[in-house]
Structure 1
Amino acid sequence: MSWEYNNESAAQRKARIAREVENRRAKGEPFEPIVCEVKRGIPAKTFWGVAWGENLESYSDYEHRLPRGRTYLRGGNVFDLEINEGNVFAYVTGGEIYEVTIDIEPMFDEPWAELKQRIAGKVTNVVDLMAGDLGAGVMEAVTDRELGLFPSPSEIRFSCSCPDWADMCKHVASVMYAVGVRLDQQPELLFKLRGVDHHELIDHASTDADLSTDSDEAGILEAGELSELFGIDLGDPESAVGE
């Protein structure tokens, strides 16, 4: 923090940062906050967001920095979260407006192929699909700490413009948790982050599976209905490449 702000109170600092945010918005920057509605525990609601948080908290490397990160996230301090292939970016407000970048290695071809093989045929029926539940076997495989889709600490690199010397400062921790909030809304972003195609996972999970309902009248889910259900195009797998 610059020397002229050394003596400002917490209220003055908060007001100054709020003015800076408004100034940036006036210049055309979105500065949209990540809203966390979960007040206790892991700041996420759905399977995907909670699983991301549980994986994050399973690594002892991070345990001392994570609580402040949850507080920052719940305080509305994370803005403009972007999740792209191999990269997460966000602004986090504190003493200043800090830039946080998190680089995550892509999932390599061999472990991705092994993951797809482990879940082949484990989607059992259309009821599971409509509920957004791919079954315990699939979910356990996808979220396995060693063999699943989530990155390990060795695959993650942090960068924050704050003066904190730690690899994972509270600003980085807040952004890591914010990823879980976003996965609540868009779980497909986890696959994008790791550089793999979620169409392939669905294809393999559905291989040799019984996609019919218990009712003969209900019939089998057609490709168009699958597309509508997941909001993706299953008709032409190659169309997803490069999106």
Structure 2
Amino acid sequence: MAAPGRDGELRRTFPAFAPRPAEDIRFAETWWGNAWVAALEEGALDPKRLARGRGYAQEGHVDAITVTPGLVLAYVRGSRPRPYRVQVRLRTLGDGDWERFLDAAADRPGHIAALLDKEMPHSLAECGVPLLPGPGDLDPHCSCPDRGHPCKHAAALCYQTARLLDADPFVLLLLRGRGERELLDALSRLSAARAARAAQEREPAPLPGVRAADVLASDRQLPPLPPPLPAPAHPEQPPVYPAAPGGPDPFALDQLATEAAARAHALLSTGRDPVAELTLWQDAVRLAAARPGSGLTAATRALYASLASAADRTPAELARAVAAWRQGGLEGLAVLEEPWDPPAGRFDRARPLLLAADLPAFRPWRNHLTHPRGHVQLRLGRDGLWYPYESEPGHDDWWPRGTPDLDPVGALTGLGASPEG
């Protein structure tokens, strides 16, 4: 699906979906998308109009869809030359409902992480707030003369809306009255306030030593200084930074503090800076890879754009490089970007091993071995590991996938490729 246009935080416009094969009858894969479809179908008065609406949706009759609080709007092409204007209304939530929702979301860190990954946890939808519509909650209106509830044009729009909700639950939250940025900012402030209260309630642990006043009041000779405290096992996470009007971005502050703590811990533990020898691009990839997600969520999109711009790259190039870094660190990035000519030996032995595993003859090029279908590739790293890659067949658009392995067949197995694939 193409990216939506944003006329403002409370208005999102999505391009029309392309027609789908007739046998592809599912309009939702997620449980919340299916709940939307169930609300439509269980509240409909005529199953035949629903069937016509499904056909219209599958054939691509629904034009661009605009979502605002309480309203889904689109033009749907029917049997006449002029398309019909279709609206589906849904009641927005009140302030009390939103307070309960935000409290429930901030109560568990997993809830916020799930929302950022475009997931809707069951427990969040069961917090006592009517996020999902029930039968009869969807209120369709169409400019066609059919008085059915819903007519086939409104049914088509509802089915396509289920696909939008499937891809991004923030569309449902916008329908209920609040935009993604507003909700994430509110969750950031609420989480920061809770973390601050929890920190105030904790008594600091006493440090070993002697009070300075006791030492100065004593006439005895001072003992030798105690040995330095050992380095902690790992750097701690920084506190949550609240968002403030005109203040720095809390996400950027968290990134800087986390990075400073990690480098300080490495210097304290090993005496060397782990990133001193990295290039600007390698360091940008490392920083982006340290954050969860793939630069597609609201929380990481700005970070990816900033890092990519600083390195004179695109966010898409950074996302691919992050996948390589997560696959194999600095060596994984080198495997992505630097083809090389391996000496005879491990590379030459790989093709017979693949054939012995009932795999077809992979095509060699430098340190690459590519499946003849063009959907799976192995790359030999200078560390002797085989790095698996995937692409859409024939597109030559390779992305790191799976775990590197000394055994080429093992690398494909970790990728999930079958010998028949």
- TM-score band, normalised by shorter chain: 0.5 to 0.7
Larger RCO, structure (CA 8 Å, separation 6 or more):
1
SS of residue paired to 2:63:
strand
SS of residue paired to 1:162:
coil
Write out per-residue CA displacement over residues 82-134 of structure 1, whole angstroms, 9 at most, x where no aligned residue.
11222211111221222212232221222222333344412339975775446
Structure-2 residue corresponding to 1:34: 17
Deviation of residue 173 (structure 1)? 0.6
- State the alpha-carbon separation in 1 of the partners of residues 28 and 79 from structure 2: 26
Does residue 157 of structure 1 match 2:139? yes
- State the alpha-carbon separation in 2 of the partners of residues 200 and 185 from structure 1: 19
- State the alpha-carbon separation in 1 of the partners of residues 115 and 69 from structure 2: 26
SS of residue paired to 1:95:
coil
Does residue 174 of structure 1 match 2:160? no
- State the alpha-carbon separation in 2 of the partners of residues 182 and 40 from structure 1: 16
Q: 1:87 aligns with which of 71, 88, 100?
A: 71
Does residue 230 of structure 1 match 2:258? no
Structure-2 residue corresponding to 1:116: 102
Does residue 100 of structure 1 match 2:167? no
RMSD: 4.1
**How many pairs align?**
195
- State the alpha-carbon separation in 1 of the partners of residues 143 and 112 from structure 2: 48
SS of residue paired to 1:192:
helix
State the identity %: 27
SS of residue paired to 2:107:
coil
Q: Unaligned regions of 5+ residues in structure 2, if any?
A: 1-13, 196-232, 241-249, 253-290, 303-421
Structure 1 residues 107, 197: closer, same or farther in 2, change over 3 A? same
- State the alpha-carbon separation in 2 of the partners of residues 169 and 125 from structure 1: 37
Structure-1 residue corresponding to 2:270: none
Does residue 148 of structure 1 match 2:123? no
Contact 1:121 1:204 (8 Å CA) reproduced: no
- State the alpha-carbon separation in 1 of the partners of residues 157 and 115 from structure 2: 30
Deviation of residue 218 (structure 1)? 8.9
Contact 2:89 2:138 (8 Å CA) reproduced: yes
Structure-2 residue corresponding to 1:212: none
Larger gyration radius, structure 1 or structure 2: 2
Structure 1 residues 168, 106: closer, same or farther in 2, change over 3 A? same
Structure 1 residues 105, 137: closer, same or farther in 2, change over 3 A? closer
Structure-1 residue corresponding to 2:36: 52
TM-score (norm 2): 0.38
Deviation of residue 151 (structure 1)? 3.5
Structure-2 residue corresponding to 1:70: 54
Deviation of residue 49 (structure 1)? 3.3
Contact 1:36 1:43 (8 Å CA) reproduced: no
- State the alpha-carbon separation in 1 of the partners of residues 35 and 235 from structure 2: 36
SS of residue paired to 2:109:
coil
SS of residue paired to 2:56:
helix
- State the alpha-carbon separation in 2 of the partners of residues 131 and 91 from structure 1: 30
Deviation of residue 74 (structure 1)? 0.7
SS of residue paired to 1:66:
helix
Write out per-residue CA displacement over residues 151-179 of structure 1, whole angstroms, 9 at most, x where no aligned residue.
34555432212221213111101101111
For 2:139, the aligned partner's letter is R
Does residue 184 of structure 1 match 2:212? no
- State the alpha-carbon separation in 1 of the partners of residues 234 and 46 from structure 2: 52
Structure-1 residue corresponding to 2:336: none
For 2:92, the aligned partner's letter is P
- State the alpha-carbon separation in 2 of the partners of residues 125 and 103 from structure 1: 27
TM-score (norm 1): 0.60
Contact 1:78 1:91 (8 Å CA) reproduced: yes
Q: Unaligned regions of 5+ residues in structure 1, if any?
A: 1-30, 210-214, 236-243
